Each structure stands twice: as structure tokens, then as C-alpha cells.
Amino acid sequence: MRAKLKAGFRTDIGKMRVVNEDALLVLPADGLFAVADGVGGSNSGDIASRRAVNGIEEFFRENPVSEADGMEGEVRHDWFKDYFLRCFRKINQDIRNAAAIEQDNSGMATTAVAAYFDGDIVYITNIGDSRAYILRAGEITQLTEDHSYVTDLVNAGTLTKSEAREHPQKNMITRALGAGAEADPDFYRHDIEQGDCVLLCSDGLHGELTDEEIRSEFEKESDLNSVCKLLVQAANEKGGHDNITIVCAAG
């Protein structure tokens, strides 16, 4: 039985963009949340991100997770992994089909991160550089890994994490929905404890604020919508170079 979830969210155009290409999904009664960020520099990023979050909800409605009832442990884990792989691959094809029909949408793509709360476990799927974090007992931990050029360099030992934050190509992603014939998302499972908060965000937040700066805003407010507002303000004060979208969920 899933505990009743509290949620907060906010999206903001930032200080440099003329269009908000981010989108979000907040369904606390269903335990389902998502953030998508249309790829900058490509056509119709706002359309791609909306298709992503709408597609996640549509897949969830058409393919009830109740099919996993009775499954436990690794069997249940593997079922959800396949579930979200099928979901993201369907959305990937839908975006590519829409791009092929309308020339103005040619090449459109989007990042996405989704979280589903299943009792005391949260399942997370991501593609691109939209992230998931968990805040627990005053500490923040990044749960996802960015699919980006600088992350590859960090993993190869060529860059440090601090150098990656200042790299001129830090926004270059290596995977996205709509960008290739097959979507290749990552999948994570994380145990949830009472008082934990899961944060989903676009790179408009983590590109401006360090993990410690994000964590510190949670010390100022207990209301999740108020925290989201503070985070947006802080990101804009740092420059607001991109759209900023935040979704928080806690038991």
C-alpha cells in the first residue's frame, strides 16, 4: 500500500529564453511524476516535451501497473524495468512519427525523467540530462546519471565534476527521445523511507545550482511548492540561462 504522497512543482521560462520548452507531469494519487525538457537548438522542443509527458500518462492509463500485482523482489523490479522501457520506446517512435509528418517539427527531441512510487520503492527512468535526486535526513543524492558529453568525459577520467560544470559543451546530450531509431533509457530502483523527498528537474535547475545549493533551499521551507518557488528564484538569480522545471514528491 502506497502512503499518500505530497507534491510540489513549478516551471519557469528563465531569464534568457523566449519559449518554455519544459513540461511536467504530477499525479500524486497515482504515484507518477515526470519532467521533460525539449532539446535546445532543435525544432519544436516544446512540442516534443509535451508529447513525452502526455505519452507517459497515456501509457500508464492504457497499461495498468496492477498487472504486477503478486510479483515480488527482482521479478517485480524486472517487470517495471520492461514497463518503462516499452513506455519510452513508444514515445520515442511517436515523436519521430510526428516529426516525419510535419516539416516544422523535423528533428524534434526531448529529455525525460519519470518516477513511479511503488510502496517503499521508487522506480526511476531517465534519458538525457533531466535528473532525479533524493533528499534524506538533510543530505542530497543524485539518483540518475546524465547522458551527456561531459558525463562521458568525467566517467573516462578526462574531466573532474567541477570542471564539467564549467565546460563549454556541458549542455551537449548524447541521448534523447526522438533523437534515434531506438530509445535507450536508464532504469533505477531506490528504497524510500519516511521523510524522503524525490526531486525531478530539468537542467535549468542543476545547470545553475550545485547539489549543495539545491539541498540548502530545502532547509528554508517545509511546503514543497514553496521550496520549488525558492529553487526557481535561486536558479534565476544565478543567471536563469534555461527553462527551469521542478517536481518534488514526498510521503
CA distance 22 to 46: 6
Of how many residues is the chain composed? 251
Domains recognised in the chain with CATH numbers: 6-250 (3.60.40.10)
CA distance 7 to 9: 7
Residue 75 carries which side chain, given as an amino acid letter? V
Q: Please report which confidence band the pLDDT of residue 41 belongs to, taking 50, 70 and 90 as the band edges.
A: low
Closest CA to 8 of 165, 232, 160, 162: 232
Per-residue pLDDT tens digits for 167-190: 888 888 999 999 999 999 999 999
pLDDT of residue 75: 97
Per-residue pLDDT tens digits for 141-166: 999 999 999 999 989 999 888 888 88
Provide the whole-model pTM: 0.95
Section 62-81 average pLDDT: 96
Contacts of 22 (CB under 8 A, 6+ apart): 11, 35, 36, 37, 38, 49, 202, 204, 243, 244, 245
Backbone φ and ψ for 119, nearest 5 degrees, come out as 65, -120
pLDDT of residue 1: 45
CA distance 48 to 206: 21
Residue 121 carries which side chain, given as an amino acid letter? I
Per-residue pLDDT tens digits for 198-223: 999 999 999 999 999 999 999 999 99
DSSP state, residue 181 = S
Q: 95: which 3 cell numbers?
A: 515523436
Higher pLDDT, 225 or 106: 225
160 touches 154 (CB < 8 A): yes
pLDDT of residue 47: 95
